[in-house]
């Protein structure tokens, strides 16, 4: 599982910072999460193949989180894309994007599939044999969701020495990796625990976009491996966080600590702060394993 930060600042783009966008590389999927202005330029800069992106998850309809999407879709048309593109986001995103395509007479030559969201409860929005994605209902000035990405448990690891010792035929290997016991020709049952070891712990990643401090999400985040949580302000500007429905670095750390997360990544910084290190210092007073998102930074888990 790898996370590529394309942009992690709030509000307007600047010459050296970009609004929110990131790519999660998990189980051969490249999921694009949010799509602020400049996203496609950042994708080019970091040599991420557009063709591999088949699912885009938009948290909410504020410009710094989705204004890059129309441009990206237009570029995909010019590139001659044929594979379907699935876009998950708040109700209204289909109208916003298709209106621009209509006015520009630039309809896609590939299936553009919108999955509009309106539920205030967690929803399963994507699932295949390896990964599932759930919404994380947040509390911002407009309808907003975070997203929880979870790997599904893999097969058990075969102990080749053990299966050879018991002279077990290869035709049983798949069943053994799927947790089945084995009946030998002698009539003896061999338990699966003697033939396998546990698979790697499934990875998980939670993206918590713009939100006021919301302890109610902790239950859904229990045990998450990596948590990205917005930290627009520091505690000294907590009044602004409440007013604008954002969070502080300390509050993000409290969510991570309550959820028992493996690691916290901070982002969505207000441009009023010149030194990002103060965000990490504040969060680490509550949750030591805290890292800072930065444009272009890659986290390999």
289 catalytic? Reply is no
Whole-angstrom distance, CA of residue 294 vs CA of residue 301 = 16
Q: What was the pLDDT predicted at 11?
A: 83
Contact in structure between 150 and 204 (CB atoms under 8 Å): yes
DSSP state of 166: T
Q: What are the residues whose beta carbons fall under 8 Å from the beta carbon of 186, sequence distance 6 or more? A: none
62 labelled ligand-binding: yes
210 marked ligand binding residue: yes
> Residue 212 pLDDT > 90, yes or no?
yes
Grade residue 14 by pLDDT with cuts at 50, 70 and 90. Answer: confident
User: Does residue 106 surpass a pLDDT of 90?
Assistant: no
Q: What is the average per-residue pLDDT within 148-174?
A: 91
| 65 annotated to a ligand binding site | yes
Give me the pLDDT at residue 198, please: 87
**Looking at residue 16, what is its pLDDT?**
87
Query: What's the chain's average pLDDT?
Result: 95
> Among candidates 59, 67, 23, which has minimal Cα distance to 139?
59
Assess whether pLDDT exceeds 90 at residue 98: yes
Q: What is the pLDDT of residues 120-137, one digit of tens each?
A: 999 999 999 999 999 999
Instruction: Give 239's pLDDT tier (boundaries 50, 70, 90).
Output: very high
Whether residue 154 is predicted with pLDDT greater than 90 in this model: the reply is no
Residue 60, marked binder: yes
What's the farthest any 2 CA atoms get from each other in the chain? 75
- Has residue 274 got a pLDDT over 90? no
Helix (H, G, I), strand (E, B) or coil at 147: strand
140 is in an annotated binding site: yes
Whether 228 and 206 have beta carbons less than 8 Å apart is answered as yes
The pLDDT value given to residue 13: 80
Per-residue pLDDT at 58: 98
Q: Taking 90 as the threshold, does the pLDDT of residue 200 lie above it? A: no
- pLDDT, residue 223, reads 97
- CATH 3.60.15.10: which residues of the chain? 2-154+200-300
Read off the DSSP letter of residue 160. Answer: H
From CA 143, how far away is CA 244, in angstroms rounded?
Answer: 14
Q: What is the mean pLDDT of residues 62-87?
A: 96
Percent of the chain with pLDDT over 70: 100
Residues 93, 58 contacting (CB under 8 angstroms): yes
Across 161-186, average pLDDT:
90
Say which residue, 199 or 281, is predicted with more confidence.
281
Residue 15: band (very low, low, confident or very high) from pLDDT cuts 50, 70, 90: confident
Q: How far apart are CA 37 and CA 199, in angstroms?
A: 40
From the CB of residue 66, how many other CB atoms can be counted at a distance below 10 Å?
Answer: 27
Indicate the pTM of the whole model: 0.91
Annotated catalytic residue: which of 25, 64, 159, 289?
64
Looking at the predicted structure, is the pLDDT value of residue 143 above 90? Answer: yes
Q: Is 86 annotated as a binding residue?
A: no
pLDDT at 199: 86
Q: Classify domain 2-154+200-300 at the CATH superfamily level.
A: Ribonuclease Z/Hydroxyacylglutathione hydrolase-like (3.60.15.10)
For position 268, what pLDDT does the model report? 97
Q: List, for residues 17-54, the tens digit of each pLDDT value.
A: 999 999 999 999 999 999 999 999 999 999 999 999 99
pLDDT band per the 50, 70, 90 thresholds, residue 185 = confident
Show the tokens assigned to 23.
Answer: 């790519």
């Amino acid at each position: 599982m790898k996370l590529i930060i394309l942009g992690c600042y709030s509000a307007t783009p600047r010459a050296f910072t970009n609004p929110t966008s990131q790519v999660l590389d998990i189980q051969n999927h490249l999921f694009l999460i949010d799509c602020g202005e400049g996203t496609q330029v950042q994708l080019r800069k970091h040599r991420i193949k557009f063709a591999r992106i088949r699912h885009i998850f938009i948290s909410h309809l504020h410009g710094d989180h989705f204004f890059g999407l129309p441009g990206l879709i237009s570029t995909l048309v010019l590139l001659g894309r044929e594979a379907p593109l699935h876009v998950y986001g708040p109700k209204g995103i289909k109208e916003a994007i298709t209106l621009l395509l209509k006015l520009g007479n630039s309809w896609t030559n590939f299936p553009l599939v919108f999955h509009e969201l309106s539920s205030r409860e967690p929803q399963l929005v994507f699932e295949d044999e390896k990964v599932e994605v759930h919404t994380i209902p947040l509390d911002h000035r407009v309808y907003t969701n975070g997203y929880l990405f979870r790997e599904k448990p893999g097969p058990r690891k075969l102990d080749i020495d053990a299966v050879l010792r018991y002279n077990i035929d290869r035709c049983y290997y798949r069943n053994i990796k799927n947790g089945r016991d084995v009946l030998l020709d002698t009539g003896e049952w061999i338990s699966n625990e003697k033939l396998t070891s546990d698979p790697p712990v499934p990875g998980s990643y939670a993206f918590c976009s713009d939100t006021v401090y919301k302890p109610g999400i902790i239950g859904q985040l229990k045990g998450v491996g990596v948590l990205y949580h917005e930290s627009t302000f520091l505690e000294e500007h907590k009044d602004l966080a409440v007013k604008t429905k954002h969070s502080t670095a300390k509050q993000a750390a409290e969510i991570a600590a309550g959820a028992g997360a493996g690691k916290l990544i901070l982002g969505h910084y207000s441009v009023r702060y010149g030194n990002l290190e103060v965000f990490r210092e504040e969060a680490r007073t509550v949750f030591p394993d805290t890292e800072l998102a930065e444009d272009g930074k890659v986290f390999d888990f």
